[in-house]
Amino acid sequence: MQKLSVAVAVFAALTALVGVHKGDSSLFVLVAAAALCAYTTWRAADMSSFLKIFAFIFSTETIVFGLVGLAQAEGLWPESLKDYAPPETMPLTVAVFSIIVYAISHIPVVREMTRIADLYFSSRDRGEGRVWPFKPFAARERAIAIAMVVVLVLLNQGQVGITVRLSFFNRDWYNAIQEKNASEFWRQLFFVFTPWAFVYVASVIIEFVLQSMLIIRWRRWLTEHYIGRWLGAHTHYGMALAGSGADNPDQRIAEDVNRFISGGEEGYGVYSYSILLIATLSSLVSFAYVLWDLSGNYPLPGTEIYIPGFLFWAVLIYAAVGTLVTHLIGRTLTGLYFDRQRREADFRFSLARMREYSEQIALLGGEPAERGALLRRFAGIIVNYLAIVQKRKQLMVFTSTYGQLSPIIPYVITAPFYFAGRITLGVMTQTASAFGRVESALTFFINYYTSLANFKSVLDRLSSFDHAIDTARGQASATQIFSPTDGADIRLRGLTLALPDGRQIVTVDDLTLAAGQSALLTGPSGSGKSTLFRAIAGIWPYASGEVLTPRGAKVMLAPQRPYIPMGALADAIVYPGHVDDYSRADVQEALRAARLAPFVERLDEENNWGQRLSGGEQQRVAIARALLAKPDWLFLDEATSALDEQLEEEIYAMLRERLPGTTIVSIGHRSTLHAFHDRYIVMEPAPGGVFSPRDKVHA
């Protein structure tokens, strides 16, 4: 950026020289703008990476268009290319754009937006790209994305240029029609309109493809980013525990990321707020110039007095009135749409819940109650729908009328001049089309502005999600209670466990779990046994003290209700490993050992196993999992509670036989469990309303 800034400064100096040389004081506006642009470009070095792309484009264009302009002023521009020279005002316009980019980078909403956009545009990840018909190539993902943005902006600007050019075609064509000049009519059609229209269509297609690719790449990256951060370091668990401000992480990852980038049904995303905004702004500025120039054709009726930019002011007022009325009629619509999303989501969620608890509901005969609740929810959707229809009907009366009028209005304004013979038909139609362009650009802007509230809520949801992740991570890293030791035992020293609200529940002065000595932990329900296991497993963030674990030891914890992932049974057995990590025979053998022999044939069956298997079968899946994983330490948190005593005994005997190198620590209530353990620990009340584990001799 700094090199570019120097180049812009050199260009400003050059322009000043030419200005002095030619005695052309009008050039000094450009000199001032270019000097300011050089300054903001310099400062842009520490601006957001995303905004830098745009500042870079505009500053570069300032130099390029500026040099072309100087060449023209000095008579160095070839005569044959005269038609292709950019308008004189171009360098000034793009210099101002570059300055604007710098200025808006200080607005809080923009900062928040670019902070999230920058995650992608300053990432260091590798990516792969492919430009047809060339071979795929590897590059930084960021570089690919930036290149796409640059091309998209240039394409959009090119399209605006073509539209401006075509508006002059429009003028000449209608003039030819008015003058009944057939040869000019056809010449304009075939040699001006056709090639430009062709280029325009091609550029629209390329733009569409590029834009779609950019959006999906960006979304893929951002989704991976958030999933990675959410799942990393057990953050998802810490966030759920803390009940942090970030509800529904699923919605944030699946919907908000997409809405942030490409916008949703009723809003615009960051793509619209950057590239499309620039396209619209360029279109507005270009046609405003055209209209301004055309205004020179229209003196006040009966006089020779010209109001500068008369047509421009007319369209400004027209568009402002139109949008104001639209806004006044439709302002409640935003709230209704918002409401609709919430109601639809609620309805969908209650249907999904119904499916999840289908068995429990059937057992209780709860269908009528469910039907009532579902239909009540749906009635809310209908009420909202009807309110939207009502509002849109009113809005439609106005917008349809306005839509019908819009193409007519400029003709009404210009007709007196045409009939008085002051303007040609071509000027009239060109005025009408420029009027339409400026009008729709202005309307667009006002829409952008009003959808900002929607976009802001998406931004806020992503920001608070980020924030909650950071908080959970900070908490997790602040409670680094683990230290690896060279010994073989697990030792807890000065350990204090608390609840998310800060209330302490467990203290452990000094407890050593010796390797090879199986232990049974019992105690009243709610005395923190499971929490103690969670702390040993390293997922409980509200802990202080020390947990010394043997270096490199593999610790596995089986909870009372094991997790059964979606998919084939084999996937559930080897979870979180992969089926390829184990031989088929080993998996089958583990199943048989866990007394699940009937399922050996159904390993590849995809099913909702989490609901299909009985509680006891699910617990045995966890046992089979442990057999395959062969951990050094196996913590069983009431992991056999759903088995009958006979089966429980068999399972314990089998575990001891098959996992001789594994130390088993269990939580359980049944007295029959004592027989399978070497040591007996009880959670006992200690001062301060907490519980502490104490050794007991089993009577």
Q: Does 500 bind ligand ADP (CB under 6 A)?
A: yes
Q: Does 163 bind ligand ADP (CB under 6 A)?
A: no
Instruction: Name the segment binding ligand ADP (CB under 6 A); options: 94-102, 129-137, 283-291, 528-536.
Output: 528-536
User: How far does CA 472 lie from the centroid of its chain?
Assistant: 20
654's contact among ligand ADP, Mg ion, none, with CB below 5 to 8 A by partner kind, is: none
Instruction: Name the segment binding Mg ion (CB under 5 A); options: 155-163, 213-221, 509-517, 529-537.
Output: 529-537
Q: Does 505 bind ligand ADP (CB under 6 A)?
A: yes
Q: Does 531 bind ligand ADP (CB under 6 A)?
A: yes
Using CB atoms within 10 Å of the CB of residue 91, give its burial: 0 to 12 exposed, 13 to 18 middle, 19+ buried: buried
526's contact among ligand ADP, Mg ion, none, with CB below 5 to 8 A by partner kind, is: ligand ADP
CA distance 56 to 59: 5
CA distance 647 to 662: 20
5's contact among Mg ion, ligand ADP, none, with CB below 5 to 8 A by partner kind, is: none
Q: Residue length, the chain?
A: 699
Q: Does 525 bind ligand ADP (CB under 6 A)?
A: yes
Q: Does 295 bind ligand ADP (CB under 6 A)?
A: no
Q: Does 502 bind ligand ADP (CB under 6 A)?
A: no
Which tokens sit at 685? 């009340």
Residue nearest to Mg ion (CB): 530
Backbone angles phi, psi at 512, to 5 degrees: -110, 125
Looking at the Cβ atoms of 156 and 527, the one nearer to ligand ADP is 527
Q: Does 685 bind ligand ADP (CB under 6 A)?
A: no
CB 52, min distance to Mg ion, A: 53
Q: Does 527 bind ligand ADP (CB under 6 A)?
A: yes
Contacts of 439 (CB under 8 A, 6+ apart): 315, 318, 319, 322, 406
Residue closest to 89 by CA, chosen among 164, 141, 149: 164
Looking at the Cβ atoms of 142 and 677, the one nearer to ligand ADP is 677
Looking at the Cβ atoms of 5 and 530, the one nearer to Mg ion is 530
- Among all chains, which residue has been given the structure tokens 């009937």? 598
Q: Does 559 bind ligand ADP (CB under 6 A)?
A: no
| Identified binder of ligand ADP from the candidate list 199, 329, 499, 555, rule CB under 6 A | 499
CB 491, min distance to Mg ion, A: 22
41's contact among ligand ADP, Mg ion, none, with CB below 5 to 8 A by partner kind, is: none
Q: Are 580 and 586 within 8 A, CB to CB?
A: no
Residue closest to 414 by CA, chosen among 441, 398, 436: 436
CA distance 225 to 230: 9
Backbone angles phi, psi at 670, to 5 degrees: -70, 135
Looking at the Cβ atoms of 298 and 542, the one nearer to ligand ADP is 542
Antiparallel, parallel or unpaired: β 482-485 and 543-550: parallel
Looking at the Cβ atoms of 531 and 619, the one nearer to ligand ADP is 531
CB 227, min distance to ligand ADP, A: 23
CB 528, min distance to ligand ADP, A: 4
Looking at the Cβ atoms of 350 and 641, the one nearer to Mg ion is 641
Q: Does 529 bind ligand ADP (CB under 6 A)?
A: yes
CA distance 10 to 92: 15
CB 565, min distance to ligand ADP, A: 22
Rg (alpha carbons) of the chain, rounded to whole number: 36
Q: Does 522 bind Mg ion (CB under 5 A)?
A: no
157's contact among Mg ion, ligand ADP, none, with CB below 5 to 8 A by partner kind, is: none
CB 524, min distance to Mg ion, A: 11
Binding mask 179-218 for ligand ADP (x = CB under 6 A): ----------------------------------------
Fill in the amino acid letter for 37: C
Which tokens sit at 11? 């260009």
Q: Does 114 bind ligand ADP (CB under 6 A)?
A: no
| Identified binder of ligand ADP from the candidate list 214, 239, 241, 655, rule CB under 6 A | 241
Residue closest to 391 by CA, chosen among 297, 326, 457: 326
Q: Does 127 bind ligand ADP (CB under 6 A)?
A: no
Antiparallel, parallel or unpaired: β 690-695 and 679-686: antiparallel
- Among all chains, which residue has been given the structure tokens 């909650």? 468
Q: Does 530 bind Mg ion (CB under 5 A)?
A: yes
Residue closest to 225 by CA, chosen among 462, 533, 540, 423: 462
User: How far does CA 282 lie from the centroid of its chain?
Assistant: 27
Looking at the Cβ atoms of 164 and 667, the one nearer to ligand ADP is 667
CB 662, min distance to ligand ADP, A: 22
Q: 3-state class of 633 per DSSP?
A: strand
Which tokens sit at 127? 């990516």
Total residues at the site for ligand ADP (CB under 6 A)?
Answer: 11
CA distance 40 to 103: 8
CB 630, min distance to Mg ion, A: 25
Q: Does 431 bind ligand ADP (CB under 6 A)?
A: no
Give the side-chain half-sphere CA count within 13 A for 594: 25
CB atoms < 10 A from the CB of 298, how many? 20
Which tokens sit at 355? 């499916």
CA distance 569 to 624: 12
CA distance 62 to 33: 10
499's contact among ligand ADP, Mg ion, none, with CB below 5 to 8 A by partner kind, is: ligand ADP
Instruction: Name the segment binding ligand ADP (CB under 6 A); options: 127-135, 219-227, 497-505, 586-594.
Output: 497-505
DSSP 306: B
Instruction: Name the segment binding ligand ADP (CB under 6 A); options: 47-55, 113-121, 259-267, 519-527.
Output: 519-527
- Which residues, in sequence order, are bridge partners of residue 568? 606
**Which residues contact Mg ion by CB under 5 A?**
530
**Which residues contact ligand ADP by CB under 6 A?**
241, 499-500, 505, 525-531
